[in-house]
């Protein structure tokens, strides 16, 4: 695949796209030039730096906190305040920090497979999540339970896995000296996982613990409320986390063989043709290509079209979606959220209709929604748009959400807040798409892309292995941030119309417990 990936003119990394014979799409990223440019500076460091190197190799990372977990693609939501960073079914393995001496910690790999909880069988809610756990429990070549985790953490690294609605991804980072060996251990997750009965109960317990931990997260609780409103036959209605009830007690009572279902799920969906892989290291592109071909060519492929679920429409019945819901949160907060249900927009990443609206609704300057709400003492913050995660953007739907943090005065005048928002949206509808605004946003994003701070290796592979599922190879780096085409008649105007249309609206009013 001889495609040149579009990158920032200030980006000195080298990129290469591959497609292996089994259908696996690969993006190789080499920091070879950057590493050699910094060798002299690093070699002249103090003896204390050498001591820190030893600590990293042994997974000690003295004085540094653990890594921060995962975010999916770059956040699309325009914010004026902090957000809840809770993520859907994520976990972080290993003990080392991802902050600190970059030269010691710059080899990383991420693999994404296009399957998630939307594909769970009705008999076993949470099966995709459970399989994600089970793949860490050994392979035919490396049969030790958690052998990969132990290897990575003992060499200054960590690993992570996350199951969403339509995507599941696995990432790790490790000291560069041990990258080739870690790659091979990692690849065999997907070549020949053991999926043994002996590991099942412990991993179900781990899944159950993650679910219990999520109960104190307002964002996860609201997500479950939202999912519960879906039509009974829609996969959004599935229970994506899974717990001991759905994966152990229920199957035991009904005689369901969970291990058999896990293996069938793996054989059906864990095909190389449904996977994307991103690798970054200080090694040259040729070396990385050789390692990837040696380790990942053995992933099986079923040579079948991906079983799409885009036909699952409609998502909601109108009588449950077109309502105002009041929710008592765990945290002390006053928020009002409006959510519009839109058609899938993944195919319009070059036009970015939702992002265009997000920039306008989330604007904070003079004449914006937020400036007027602040002037009237109704609100303190506003965020609008979509995070880009598959819980908000997938092959079935897209969600556009406007969340307002209210003052005490605002909580008692919710309909005045709504009036301001809809007056602004009506203005956008009357004015229609504006090329001058699109061009201004495009220029801002281009400058941000050009001068953006360099991502660390882990964050880079985590983001790109998912981006590769949706964007053309030349747009792997730019598809989630740059604006390419101004085509108001194709997508932007439709997006504005759908957002204005209150028939696609879900309202969520969040109070403190004392106000209920």
**Residues catalogued as catalytic:** 132
Sign of CA dihedral 468, 472, 475, 481: negative
* H or E stretch covering 58: none
The CA angle 195-201-206, to the nearest 5 degrees, is 95
Which among 479, 470, 421 has a CA at the least distance from the CA of 445? 479
Task: Say how many C-beta atoms besides its own lie within 10 A of residue 102's C-beta.
Answer: 16
Task: Say how many C-beta atoms besides its own lie within 10 A of residue 194's C-beta.
Answer: 18
Q: How far apart are CA 432 and CA 178, in angstroms?
A: 55
Q: What is the DSSP string of 191-222?
A: HSB---HHHHHHHHHHHHHHHHHHTT-HHHHH
Q: How far apart are CA 292 and CA 283, in angstroms?
A: 12
First to last CA, the chain: 59
**Angstrom distances, CA of residue 22 to CA of 95, 171, 267, 303, 509:** 34, 21, 14, 9, 49
Strands 107-113 and 168-174: antiparallel
**Angstrom distances, CA of residue 71 to CA of 87, 163, 171, 206:** 7, 12, 12, 21
Residue pair 494/352 in contact by the 8 Å Cβ criterion: no
DSSP β-bridge partners for residue 383: 403
Which residues touch 28 (CB under 8 Å, ≥6 apart)?
15, 16, 17, 18, 279, 285, 288, 289, 292
Count the residues in the chain: 516
Residue pair 15/27 in contact by the 8 Å Cβ criterion: yes
């Amino acid at each position: 695949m001889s495609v040149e990936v579009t990158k920032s003119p200030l980006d000195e990394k080298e990129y290469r796209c591959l497609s292996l014979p089994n259908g696996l799409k690969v993006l190789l990223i080499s920091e070879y030039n950057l590493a050699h440019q910094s060798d002299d500076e690093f070699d002249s460091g103090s003896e204390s730096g050498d001591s820190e190197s030893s600590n990293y190799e042994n997974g000690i990372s003295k004085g540094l906190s653990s890594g921060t977990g995962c975010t999916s693609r770059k956040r699309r939501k325009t914010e004026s305040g902090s957000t809840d960073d809770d993520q859907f079914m994520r976990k972080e393995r290993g003990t080392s920090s991802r902050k600190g001496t970059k030269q010691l910690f710059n080899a990383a790999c991420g693999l994404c497979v296009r399957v998630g909880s939307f594909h769970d069988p009705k008999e076993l809610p949470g099966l995709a999540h459970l399989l994600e756990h089970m793949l860490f429990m050994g392979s035919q070549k490396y049969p030790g339970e958690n052998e990969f985790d132990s290897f990575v953490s003992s060499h200054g690294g960590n690993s992570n896995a996350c199951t969403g609605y339509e995507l599941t991804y696995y990432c790790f980072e490790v000291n560069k000296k041990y990258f080739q060996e870690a790659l091979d251990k990692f690849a065999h997750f997907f070549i020949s996982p053991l999926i043994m009965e002996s590991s099942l109960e412990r991993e179900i317990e781990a899944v159950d613990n993650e679910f219990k931990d999520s109960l104190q997260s307002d964002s996860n609780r609201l997500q479950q409320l939202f999912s519960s409103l879906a039509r009974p036959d829609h996969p959004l209605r599935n229970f994506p986390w899974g717990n001991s009830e759905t994966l152990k007690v229920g199957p035991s009572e009904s005689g369901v063989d969970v291990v058999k279902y896990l293996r069938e799920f793996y054989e059906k969906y864990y095909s190389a043709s449904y996977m994307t892989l991103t690798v970054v290291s200080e090694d040259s592109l040729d070396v990385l290509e050789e390692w990837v071909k040696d380790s990942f060519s053995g992933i099986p492929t079923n040579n079948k079209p991906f079983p799409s679920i885009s036909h699952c429409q409609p998502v909601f019945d109108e009588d449950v979606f077109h309502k105002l819901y009041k929710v008592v949160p765990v945290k002390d907060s006053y928020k009002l959220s409006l959510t519009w249900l839109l058609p899938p927009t993944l195919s319009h990443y070059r036009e970015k209709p939702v992002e265009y609206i997000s920039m306008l609704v989330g604007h904070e300057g003079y004449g914006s929604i937020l400036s007027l709400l602040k002037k009237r003492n109704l609100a303190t913050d506003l965020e609008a748009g979509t995070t880009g995660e598959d819980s908000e953007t997938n092959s079935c739907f897209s969600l556009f959400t406007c969340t307002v943090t209210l003052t005490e005065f605002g909580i008692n005048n919710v309909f005045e807040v709504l009036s301001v928002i809809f007056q602004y949206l009506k203005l956008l509808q009357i004015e229609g798409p504006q090329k001058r605004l699109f061009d201004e946003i495009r220029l801002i994003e281009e400058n941000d892309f050009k001068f953006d701070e360099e991502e660390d290796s882990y964050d880079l592979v985590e983001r790109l292995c998912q981006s590769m599922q949706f964007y053309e190879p030349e747009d792997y780096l730019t598809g989630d941030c740059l604006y390419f085409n101004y085509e108001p008649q194709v997508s932007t105007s439709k997006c504005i119309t759908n957002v204005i249309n209150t028939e696609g609206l879900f309202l969520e009013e969040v109070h403190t417990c004392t106000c209920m």
